[in-house]
């Protein structure tokens, strides 16, 4: 079975500082990993994904994430946070070995709050 853990319910950071939102995963095979963002009263928007290749993945709005197989982690990062980055962030995993329909398993979400 595949699973994802987001250990922090909320992350607070000052504007201009670097931010990290943590994610660890568990799958039986090689994972496909994703980050999505949800702004208030909106659906989820895709940020970035890791399928294969370079462990550092760059995505939308200046975000990046690093795949670390030995630590089974896929932390989301941004060098300089903006107030407009304040939102709910979800990590998701897919085990391609399970087949069938592109099912994703989502974490519980981390609320990011960026303050002036």
Partner 1 sequence: DVKVTQSSRYLVKRTGEKVFLECVQDMDHENMFWYRQDPGLGLRLIYFSYDVKMKEKGDIPEGYSVSREKKERFSLILESASTNQTSMYLCASSPSPGTSLYNEQFFGPGTRLTVL
Binding-site ranges for partner 1 (CB under 8 A):
6, 9, 32, 34, 36, 41-46, 49, 51, 90, 94, 100-109
Coil, helix or strand at residue 44:
strand
The minimum distance between CB 98 and partner 1, in angstroms, equals 12
The one-character DSSP state at 30 is P
For residues 84 and 63, what is the distance between their CA atoms, to the nearest angstrom?
13
In the complex with partner 1, which residue's Cβ is closer, 39 or 55?
39
Structure tokens, 33: 């990993």
In the complex with partner 1, which residue's Cβ is closer, 18 or 42?
42
In the complex with partner 1, which residue's Cβ is closer, 41 or 70?
41
Instruction: List beta partners, residue 21.
Output: 76
In the complex with partner 1, which residue's Cβ is closer, 17 or 28?
28
57 in Cβ contact with 50 (< 8 Å): yes
Angle, CA of 83, 10 and 78, to the nearest 5°: 50
The minimum distance between CB 4 and partner 1, in angstroms, equals 8
Instruction: List beta partners, residue 69.
Output: none
The minimum distance between CB 74 and partner 1, in angstroms, equals 14
The minimum distance between CB 13 and partner 1, in angstroms, equals 21
């Amino acid at each position: 079975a595949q699973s994802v853990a987001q250990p922090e319910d909320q992350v607070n950071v000052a504007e201009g500082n670097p931010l990290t939102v943590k994610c660890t995963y568990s799958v039986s095979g090689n994972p496909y990993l994703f980050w999505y963002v949800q702004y208030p009263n909106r659906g989820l928007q895709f940020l970035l994904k890791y399928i294969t290749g370079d462990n550092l993945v760059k995505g939308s709005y200046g975000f990046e994430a690093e795949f670390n197989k030995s630590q089974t982690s896929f932390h989301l990062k941004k060098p300089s946070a903006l107030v407009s980055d304040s939102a709910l962030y979800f990590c998701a995993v897919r085990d391609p070995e399970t087949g069938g329909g592109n099912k994703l398993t989502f974490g519980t979400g981390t609320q990011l709050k960026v303050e002036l």
